[in-house]
């Protein structure tokens, strides 16, 4: 019998700190490339940033319950369609403006989708917290 149930298993909360650390480290290295002219391909720093954001995205909240899973689902929905929209914009630019889509565009697209997902999730969570505290 097919049962539709919540099968999403997330990493423990402390993985979020590791993810944030990795993301911050990659951003520092990314900015250092310009200042000290280190010869590392920016591709790798973006890759590490994505890895950090994936860890943050896949980490559970301190108290992950059904409401947070609902907020997560809504955020995934927005991130998915924002990704499709961005893809169409890139294709449009490619067709009308000319030139080919960059080799790194898949990385930027992933970064964009993760950004939308994390941004939506955290802003919804914080907005709810603020609104609830105002009315309490």
Partner 1 sequence: MKNTIKVERAILDLTQEELAKKIGVSRQTISSIEKNRYVPSTVLSLKMSKLFDKPVNAFFSLTEED
Structure tokens at 32: 């250092």
Site string for partner 1, 115-134 (x = CB under 8 A): -------------xx-xx--
Alpha-carbon gap, residue 51 to 38, rounded angstroms: 21
Q: Which is nearer to partner 1, 42 or 127 (CB)?
A: 127
Residue 105: name the closest of 89, 120, 127 by CA: 89
Query: Would you count residue 68 as binding partner 1 (CB under 8 A)?
Result: yes
User: Which of 66, 95, 98, 103 lies at the binding interface for partner 1 (CB under 8 A)?
Assistant: 66
Q: Which is nearer to partner 1, 35 or 134 (CB)?
A: 134
Q: Beta-carbon neighbour count of residue 53 at 10 Å?
A: 22
Alpha-carbon gap, residue 12 to 58, rounded angstroms: 9
Which spans of this chain sit near partner 1 (rule: CB under 8 A)? 61, 63, 65-68, 70, 128-129, 131-132, 135-136
């Amino acid at each position: 019998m097919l049962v539709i149930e919540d099968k999403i298993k997330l990493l423990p909360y402390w993985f979020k700190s590791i993810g944030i650390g990795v993301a911050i480290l990659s951003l520092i290295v990314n900015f250092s490339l310009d200042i000290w002219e280190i010869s590392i391909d920016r591709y790798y720093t973006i890759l590490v940033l994505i890895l950090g954001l994936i860890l943050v995205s896949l980490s559970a909240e301190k108290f992950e319950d059904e409401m947070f899973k609902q907020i997560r689902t809504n955020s995934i929905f927005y991130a998915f369609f924002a990704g499709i929209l961005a893809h169409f914009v890139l294709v449009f630019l490619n067709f009308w403006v000319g030139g080919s889509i960059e080799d790194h565009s898949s990385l930027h697209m992933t970064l964009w989708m993760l950004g939308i997902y994390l941004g939506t999730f955290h802003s919804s969570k914080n907005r709810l917290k603020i609104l609830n505290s105002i009315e309490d």
